[in-house]
């Protein structure tokens, strides 16, 4: 199978390239904005520049069976641009449809689109997870752009012979993770006392290895055709549980003390950190049973093993 992976030097794309390049049966082409700093043996590279409506994909999609589109303008907290939605649309909608149009014209059999759980929304009542076929309810510009891309892809690829598979992951963690997850690891590793000792929420996460495994299944499984799947580890954690297990993975003791969540939310609101408060104190759960039932898929890596792998990488960066 000849596969094109976009965003091949990014957090998810690079891990997917590493996984598929080690398997027999895959011939890989990687689309990158600029030359790859560390090319992977056996992988051919196509430099395509910035993602947008005028990106030239002809050489990249020629002869491929499957396109896995991981490239995107990613979610940015406190985005400083004047019109965030327009910026997200340029890359995530116009850029995606440009690629899909050329892939379909080139005869690609399947287009696997990495979307986001933000298409479903920003949070769930405790014990009421999102399901793959729930009605979308995006809130922020990033989530809106991903939904518009999904809808545009369905319209564009209908009747072309190119199957569409949509994957909506929750927060992805693993070696090299950045943003809020990395900040939490730093807090725990430094032994900072944290007022998060009794947060009664539940959140779904997905280990990078588990997401890559699901993407691989969606490349090859016949039953994935024209379906939408949610991606998660299958074990939901409270913020308190996550910090405690993260500490264990780092070889540290979690220094957590309880403070009422209502007090913490109020403080976050005063400081203008409502988004962070939602991630720390709110629930966001997903049901991955559709992937299990249709594809026979189950996350191959446990949360604790994934946290240990993430922690080893993090600790390794401190010694460089």
Q: What is the pLDDT along the chain (320 residues), one digit of tens a residue?
A: 999 999 999 999 999 999 999 988 899 999 998 877 788 888 999 999 889 989 999 999 999 999 999 999 886 655 566 688 999 999 999 999 999 999 999 999 999 999 999 999 999 999 999 999 999 999 999 999 999 999 999 999 999 999 999 999 999 999 999 989 999 999 999 999 999 999 999 999 999 999 999 999 999 999 999 999 999 999 999 999 999 999 999 999 999 999 999 999 898 888 788 888 888 999 999 999 999 999 999 999 999 999 999 999 999 999 77
Residue 137 lies in a domain: yes
Kindly give the pairing relationship between strand 171-173 and strand 163-169: unpaired
Tracing tokens 């990249």 back to the chain, one arrives at 60
Residue at 307 is within a domain? no
Residue 248 lies in a domain: no
Report yes or no on 179 lying in a domain: no
Tens digit of each residue's pLDDT (9 = 90 or more) over 63-86: 999 999 999 988 665 556 668 899
Question: Which residues have CB under 8 Å from 115's CB, separation 6+?
Answer: 146, 147, 149, 150, 166, 167, 168, 228
pTM of the shown model: 0.95
Contact 118, 278 (CB under 8 A): no
> For residues 223 and 64, what is the distance between their CA atoms, to the nearest angstrom?
20
Q: Is residue 124 domain-resident?
A: yes
Query: Residue 198: inside a domain, yes or no?
Result: no
Phi/psi zone of residue 182: left (φ > 0), alpha (ψ -120 to 50 degrees), beta? Answer: alpha
Q: How many domains does the chain have?
A: 1
Q: Would you name the residues annotated as active-site residues?
A: 142
In a domain, 168, yes or no: yes
What is the crossing angle of helices 303-318 and 179-189, to 10°? 70
Contact 115, 154 (CB under 8 A): no
Q: Residue 229: name the closest of 303, 173, 294, 160 by CA.
A: 294
Note whether residue 243 is domain-resident: no
Instruction: Write the CATH number for 67.
Output: 3.40.50.720
Q: Which residues span the domain enclosing 31?
A: 2-174+206-234+285-300
């Amino acid at each position: 199978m000849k596969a094109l992976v976009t965003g091949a030097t990014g957090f998810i794309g690079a891990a997917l390239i590493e996984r598929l390049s080690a398997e027999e049966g895959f011939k890989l082409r990687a689309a990158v904005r600029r030359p790859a700093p560390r090319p992977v043996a056996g992988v051919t590279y196509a430099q395509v520049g910035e993602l947008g409506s005028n990106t030239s994909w002809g050489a990249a999609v020629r002869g491929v069976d499957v396109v896995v589109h991981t490239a995107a303008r990613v979610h940015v907290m406190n985005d400083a641009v004047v019109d965030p939605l327009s910026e997200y649309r340029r890359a995530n909608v116009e850029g995606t449809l440009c690629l899909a149009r050329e892939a379909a014209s080139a005869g690609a059999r399947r287009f696997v689109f990495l979307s986001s759980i933000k298409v479903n929304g920003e949070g769930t009542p405790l014990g009421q997870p999102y399901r793959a076929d729930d009605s979308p309810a995006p809130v922020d510009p990033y989530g809106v752009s991903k939904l518009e891309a999904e809808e545009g892809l369905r319209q564009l690829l209908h009747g072309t012979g190119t199957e569409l598979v949509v994957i909506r992951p929750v927060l992805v963690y693993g070696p090299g993770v950045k943003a809020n997850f990395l900040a939490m690891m730093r807090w725990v590793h430094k032994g900072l006392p944290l007022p998060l000792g009794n947060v009664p929420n539940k959140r779904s996460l997905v280990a990078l290895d588990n997401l890559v495994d699901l993407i691989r299944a969606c490349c090859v499984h016949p039953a994935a055709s024209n379906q939408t799947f949610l991606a998660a580890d299958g074990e939901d954690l409270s913020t308190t549980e996550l910090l405690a297990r993260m500490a264990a993975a780092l070889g540290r003791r979690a220094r957590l003390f309880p403070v009422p969540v209502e007090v913490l939310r109020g403080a976050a609101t005063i400081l203008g950190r409502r988004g962070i408060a939602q991630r720390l104190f709110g629930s966001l759960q997903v049901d991955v049973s559709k992937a299990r039932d249709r594809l026979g898929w189950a996350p191959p890596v446990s949360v604790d093993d994934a946290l240990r792998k993430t922690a080893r990488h993090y600790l390794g960066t401190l010694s460089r």
